[in-house]
A and B are shown apart, each in its own frame.
Chain A
Amino acid sequence: GNSVTQMEGPVTLSEEAFLTINCTYTATGYPSLFWYVQYPGEGLQLLLKATKADDKGSNKGFEATYRKETTSFHLEKGSVQVSDSAVYFCALRGWEGKSTFGDGTTLTVKP
């Protein structure tokens, strides 16, 4: 079946540091890939997505590139802010619409 493996957290960074959260996946066919962010006590918010190989998703300074050859979708941001502190989920969606999520990575950014 499908699976998503995320870099284990928690991750603690200073403001303006560079962020990378690794994500690799296993899937049949050609899934769509997503990063979601969840703030404390809230629901999921779509951060960015990519639907085919070599696509780059970007939003709010975050980027991730769909790498079919390495089955990866690593999340990056050049300069994090305190307000980026949240839990980040990597996910894939198969053709049937079911989503498979990674375990989540908690990011804390300190001023």
Chain B
Amino acid sequence: GAVVSQHPSRVICKSGTSVKIECRSLDFQATTMFWYRQFPKQSLMLMATSNEGSKATYEQGVEKDKFLINHASLTLSTLTVTSAHPEDSSFYICSARGRRGNTDTQYFGPGTRLTVL
């Protein structure tokens, strides 16, 4: 079964609104969360890395004020797309890393498809 979930799976919003995407690790504590973005027919690009309780580290070219990442607990990270615009329409995928039993493990979430009208 899934060990990392994302909510919502799909969201459509109007331009200028903010959208929050949740990423949860279901049966392990995720000390690190990664957020990726995938544009249509393109590959995944890392946006940012967040460690629980710390500020996220953003990749070059990613606006930290536009893509707010919160990793307040060991099972939940959120990505908020602020003042979304049509060019932010994309597939957002999280990846959670932590220990599951005695094993260092990492899983991808199923993704959230954001469409900004």
Contact = CB atoms under 8 A, between A and B. Distances in A.
Interface in A13-62: 36, 41-44, 46
Contacts, number: 42
Q: Classify chain A: how many residues form its interface, as a range.
A: 10 to 19
Contacts of A41: 113
B35 to A, nearest CB: 11
Nearest to A44: B108
B43 A89 contact: yes
Nearest to B46: A98
Contact of B34 (A89, A98, A102, A103): A98
A104 B109 CA distance: 18
Interface residues of B, number: 19
B97 interface: yes
Contacts of A81: none
Given A43-B93, A44-B93, A101 B43 contact: yes
Nearest to A4: B43
Interface of B: 32, 34, 36, 42-46, 49, 91, 93, 95, 97, 106, 108-111, 113
6 contacts: A43-B110, A43-B111, A97-B49, A97-B106, A99-B36, A99-B44
